[in-house]
Structure 1
């Protein structure tokens, strides 16, 4: 029996990278996991296959976040899937992991209104309204985990808009932790640093070497390094942790 046996979870953006590893980690602890994806259905199905191969349970949910109608679409699929698997629509664990990133670094002077709006729609607005809607499904004692970034603690002008949007989700954590404490729902932020999430630029040896030097352990983070922390926060063992900013950057912020 896993520590999350009988629980249900939604991990947004879990078709690859940290989201996939998180979905797998939660399922290994016994949770039924809703694997959310925006575009790549095959990748989401691969996440489900990994979970099922390991003896776990999962389902896929499709919705592009940050666009009109996204919340309704997400929760129609989620509630239908939960009913099919459990007969109920209870959601015990919400992991707000999905996020938009810049396609290329931009100086603050070069950021367009469209790029700014796109980033905030996906990284700040969507998590807020996903969480708002999920609160009707989350029982007392539930878990909300928001994925931020170590970039909110350092200056990187080429990532200013991304960092601003992630700072917003940290504020969501702080205020909801206080608001939901009477229901014993914990709300926490997990902040990864440089993590090899499968993107093409991590295959460039020079990039890997340069970024590895920024961590205390002199290596890139792996998605599993982050996922194990998220899985712990989702358990009852972490019931006394709420409103926290949990640095999972491998010591990048030590200076």
Structure 2
């Protein structure tokens, strides 16, 4: 393995360790990752990871600065653009999310990240119908439960109840742990109820209840469970 590849591997491993929860405080996690900045100075993927960590722990200005520095070197860098888009999504600057997603798709049409970002941006903007084909494009490149759950939400909001339920089932098939998710799973339970398939809706709700801690703290789920059991 050459030195560049070795450095990239070490930087990625450092990031995974920093977000693992093994550090007692956010400052310690960040300080640990910052020790790799010299070794990873030319690694723009590492810069995107460090920026993401800054943002997670409330240091948005530093995250933005780091991303913009990287984009000044490579304005088309996929990971930096995605990190910027993720920040804008959390800030609910949805026009910016859509614009950034469009840039990723333009420069990296083979990657799923641009389509995924567009799918989420459009859903958050209430443009549910438009989001569905972008999710499908993402899944052509990499099928993950998150894409299916996003589609479940979009389909519920557009009255496609059968497709909403099927999308949730696809997500469960890929990873049964998604039963714990509010996003997409609650929509599927309500969709089945709207289709008159109360027994199936209750079965799904009970599966979710069985594996979900603090399910009582989810008022949307609690309402569905009450309706299905009374």
TM-score by length of 1: 0.28
Bigger relative CO (Cα 8 Å, ≥ 6 apart): 1
Q: Which has the higher strand share?
A: 1
Q: Which has the higher helix share?
A: 2
TM-score by length of 2: 0.30
